[in-house]
């Protein structure tokens, strides 16, 4: 096993990997930009080194600077986390050339699966079910011709894409040329690669992914599925495991295809094969993410496995300590991605100082965080602050547990998307498992009449606190003001009282 590992990332994932290192007796090395000097991952590491200005291209994306720190510290391996250089085959090759182990798949697998067009071509050759579309980059004339043959609506996608960038939904032939040009331009800016391709758009599918894990001895297993259908602009918001729509037969069929896809790509370490599932429960290959996923904790909680531990063991040359038949799922897990953004203001980023931080806890609650009270959230990076994950015996109790945990969670000084999760979890369609990739867009489009915004809560809480104070004054008839007993006020009064008490604590 490695004695020292460099984590080429920041935020909650860097802290997550450092915790695994500490549990395994491995020293951890952090790298940080100037704006991250006081970040949590810096104080969590055994060693920490500055690698440049705030701009990611001059710090977290600088292969030369990261490898220089690895050489200086004697780090034997590098964990890339997710984002930044995690899916960059040039980085994986540079690590190998420098004699440092890259904790992830080989560069060849990253190149094959990292290009969406090459991946589609390889998966088609391997017999994996595919969404109708192209297996190569197209010109606008070719896209017009293909769209006419497979029918509208269609989706234009960046070949090197991810995170919803370089994607455009096209409903009619007239929209296609402009959408094609916009997608190309966005792809070029985001990935330095303007290649785009075209797929048939499946209306209201579910987005379901399969976690795979392979060692360097030819063994590959799947670790169940994750439901990732609650999305905004193709970015996942809530993930859960298992999916409400996947039974054991479908799980085994999707798992077998995911393993087949990984083996055909020569894949090792942790990765995810993503599928779209239509209303008839037919599934189609979407893409493969050649790294650890943001939502890996829900798989950990439902399988009882530590994916980061397993990543390190596989990278050190060990065999997987189990076979496919040894893996079983237990209970239900849900994850909410906590962002510094304002849902009431078109999800505008909300950097600034965290003046108050109240964390949820209790049975079945896990928080993977990269922040602390008093820290200033920078504007320079992805605004994700933390992930809140719960585990319970079944989906209904997991939803109830998440709602309770969200009631305990408060981040002061900045706006967050915490109110959005409360709204999602209270929606009857989510409770019933009636979700697809269009669910959140429909919810956000609903009229908010009678629904208070986050900015109104302190005023409402203050008013309700005053009302409850008045009600608490003894009356001559021995009852609370208003002529009703506390018990007669029921759950509604309890909710208002809890809000008033919570906001009173938060505003001290």
Give the C-alpha separation, 408 to 505, whole Å.
11
Residue 466 has pLDDT above 80, yes or no: no
Give pLDDT, residue 45.
Answer: 98
As a CATH number, domain 4-103 is 3.40.50.20
Q: Which CATH architecture describes the domain 203-330? A: 2-Layer Sandwich (3.30)
Q: What's 130's DSSP letter? A: B
Largest CA distance in the chain: 85
Residue 343, SS3 per DSSP:
helix
Exactly one of 10, 120, 251, 291 is catalytic; name it: 291
Percent of the chain with pLDDT over 70: 88
Q: Is 291 a catalytic residue?
A: yes
Tens of pLDDT, residues 311-355: 999 999 999 999 999 999 999 999 999 999 999 999 999 999 999
Phi, psi of 284 (to 5 degrees): -135, 140
Question: Average per-residue pLDDT in the chain?
Answer: 89
Residue 121 has pLDDT above 90, yes or no: no
Give pLDDT, residue 473.
Answer: 44
CATH 3.40.50.720, applies to 132-200? no
Would you say the C-alpha torsion 319, 321, 327, 329 has a positive or negative sign?
Answer: negative
Span 248-266, average pLDDT = 96
Strand ranges inside 166-268, DSSP E: 168-170, 196-200, 206-214, 220-232, 235-241
Q: What is the pTM of this model?
A: 0.84
Q: Determine the topology of domain 338-451 in CATH.
A: D-amino Acid Aminotransferase; Chain A, domain 1 (3.30.470)
Distant-in-sequence, close-in-space partners of 368: CB < 8 Å, separation ≥ 6: 12, 13, 15, 16, 297, 386, 387, 389
Span 20-36, average pLDDT = 98
Phi, psi of 130 (to 5 degrees): -125, 150
Give pLDDT, residue 183.
Answer: 95
Tens of pLDDT, residues 151-204: 999 999 998 877 678 999 999 999 999 999 999 999 998 888 999 999 999 888
Give pLDDT, residue 261.
Answer: 93
């Amino acid at each position: 096993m490695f004695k020292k590992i460099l984590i080429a990332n920041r935020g909650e994932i860097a802290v997550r990997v450092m915790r695994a290192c500490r549990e395994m007796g491995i020293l951890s090395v952090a790298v940080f930009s100037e704006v991250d000097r006081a970040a949590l991952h810096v104080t969590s590491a055994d060693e920490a080194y500055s690698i440049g200005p705030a701009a990611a291209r001059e710090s977290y994306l600088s292969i030369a600077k990261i490898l220089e720190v690895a050489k200086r510290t004697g780090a034997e391996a590098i964990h890339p986390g997710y984002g930044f250089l995690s899916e960059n085959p040039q980085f994986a090759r540079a690590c190998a050339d420098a004699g440092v182990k890259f904790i992830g798949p080989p560069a060849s697998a990253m190149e094959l699966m990292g290009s969406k067009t090459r991946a589609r071509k390889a998966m088609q050759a391997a017999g994996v079910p595919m969404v109708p579309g192209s297996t190569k980059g197209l010109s606008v004339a070719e896209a017009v011709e293909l769209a006419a043959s497979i029918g509208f609506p269609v989706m234009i996608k960046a070949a090197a894409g991810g995170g919803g960038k370089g994607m455009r939904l096209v409903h009619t032939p007239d929209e296609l040329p402009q959408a094609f040009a916009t997608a190309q331009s966005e792809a070029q800016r985001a990935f330095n690669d303007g290649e785009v391709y075209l797929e048939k758009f499946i209306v209201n599918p579910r987005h379901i992914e399969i976690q795979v894990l392979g060692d360097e001895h030819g063994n590959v297993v799947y670790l169940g599925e994750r439901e990732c259908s609650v999305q905004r602009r193709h970015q996942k918001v809530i993930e859960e495991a298992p999916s409400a729509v996947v039974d054991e037969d479908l799980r085994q069929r999707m798992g077998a295809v995911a393993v087949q896809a990984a083996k055909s790509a020569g894949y090792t370490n942790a990765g995810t094969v993503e599928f779209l599932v239509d209303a008839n429960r037919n599934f189609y290959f979407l893409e493969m993410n050649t790294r650890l996923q943001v939502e890996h904790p829900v798989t950990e909680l439902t399988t009882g496995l530590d994916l980061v531990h397993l990543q390190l063991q596989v990278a050190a040359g060990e065999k997987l300590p189990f076979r496919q038949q040894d893996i079983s799922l237990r209970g239900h897990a849900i994850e909410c991605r906590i962002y510094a953004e304002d849902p009431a203001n078109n999800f505008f980023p909300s950097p600034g100082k965290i003046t108050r931080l109240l964390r949820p806890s209790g049975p079945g609650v896990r928080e993977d965080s990269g922040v602390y009270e008093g820290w200033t959230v920078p504007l320079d990076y992805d605004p994700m602050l933390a992930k809140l994950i719960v585990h319970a015996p079944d989906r209904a109790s997991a939803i109830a547990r998440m709602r309770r945990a969200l009631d305990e969670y408060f981040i002061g000084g900045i706006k967050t998307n915490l109110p959005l999760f409360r709204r999602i979890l209270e929606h009857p369609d989510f409770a019933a498992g009636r979700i697809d990739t269009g669910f959140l867009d429909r919810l956000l489009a609903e009229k908010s009449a009678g629904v208070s915004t986050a900015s109104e809560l302190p005023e409402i809480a203050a008013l309700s606190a005053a009302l409850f104070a008045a009600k608490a004054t003894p009356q001559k008839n021995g009852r609370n003001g208003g002529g009703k007993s506390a018990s007669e006020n029921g759950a509604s009064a309890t909710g208002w009282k809890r809000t008033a008490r919570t906001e009173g604590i938060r505003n001290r």
